[in-house]
Amino acid sequence: MHRQRFFTLSASCPDRVGIVAKVSGFIAEHKGWILETSLHAEPPQEGEAVGRYFMRIEIRADSLPFHLAEFRDKFRPLAEELEMDWKITDSAVKKRVVVLVSKQEHCLYDLLARWQSKELDIEIPCVISNHDTFRGFVEWHGIPFHHVPVNADNKAAAYAEVQRIFEEVRGDTMVLARYMQILSPALCAAYPGRIINIHHSFLPSFVGAKPYHQAWTKGVKLIGATCHFVTADLDQGPIIEQDVIRIDHSDAVEDMVRYGKDIEKTVLARGLRYHLEDRVLVHGNKTIVFR
């Protein structure tokens, strides 16, 4: 990543001739210095007349004569002409990531270590858990900890409280770091493309609970982990990142769980980084990931 401050324009629109010329022409017209460009044309999906075009452009901030608010005002007419879904972000503004966790510690520990070392240059305004297990560990890092119990009788109220906390701390992204609860459809709908989960299997195989047990029963030779956006459909959201490790007949379920922890935390960290750097664009139930 570039050390100087930059703006990231990420966008998608119906495919047509001249998209890159128009957008790069707009940037050049205002003396913008492009640092990095990623482009992808996706063919039409079933029922679509045209495909969709995706782009991610990094622009050196000090090369432009204005800041983001004015960029948005000036760029909006072109975006409307191109029927574009778009956003522009500032590398100097740290994203605010709220972490949700239950009783599995490895993903939480890994994220906090990467945050503390500034490998993930983010703000973590709080951690939310349905158990009190990690309060001391989280607060030792100077991060507020919220215990929000979840049971069969209080789910609506519990998820309303999670949403209240997320809004109160001005969260940008919610990360389920082995948060072993199914979020309510209302909470999922409130933050489309902003809730990230790590699932301990190579989706779409072995959704739901105890995927390592399911994998062992099936005698698979590869196990994996999947970082994906959360939707109301359990473990069916757009996939951001995945990885696998080879196993064999001699591995017990306990071995697979141990191997899987390493994959889970690295896949979650990679997927979260791609998202925070605006490298992930959603297209239906797929993602375009500009690595």
Tokens at 248, concatenated:
């064999």
Query: What are the residue ranges of helices labelled H in the chain?
Result: 19-29, 68-81, 106-116, 135-140, 155-168, 185-190, 211-218, 253-276
* Ramachandran assignment for 189, one of left (phi > 0), alpha (psi -120 to 50 degrees), beta (any other): alpha
Question: Could you tell me which of 283, 277, 286, 237 has the C-alpha nearest to residue 38?
Answer: 277
Structural element, H or E, at residue 115: helix 106-116
Name residue 58's amino acid: E
Q: For residue 37, which phi and psi values (nearest 5 degrees)?
A: -135, 135
Give the active site residue among 15, 121, 233, 235: 235
Q: Is 235 a catalytic residue?
A: yes
Q: Is the CB of residue 60 less than 8 Å from the CB of residue 32?
A: yes
Determine the Cα–Cα distance for residues 67 and 179; give it in Å rounded to an integer: 38
Q: Any idea what DSSP says for residue 174?
A: E
Task: Give the sign of the dihedral formed by CA 130, CA 131, CA 134, CA 138.
Answer: positive
Q: Which residue has the tokens 């082995």?
A: 178
Tokens at 242, concatenated:
């995945």
Determine the Cα–Cα distance for residues 152 and 130; give it in Å rounded to an integer: 12
How far CA 68 is from CA of 61, 73, 90, in Å, comes to 9, 9, 8
Q: Which residues are part of the catalytic machinery?
A: 235
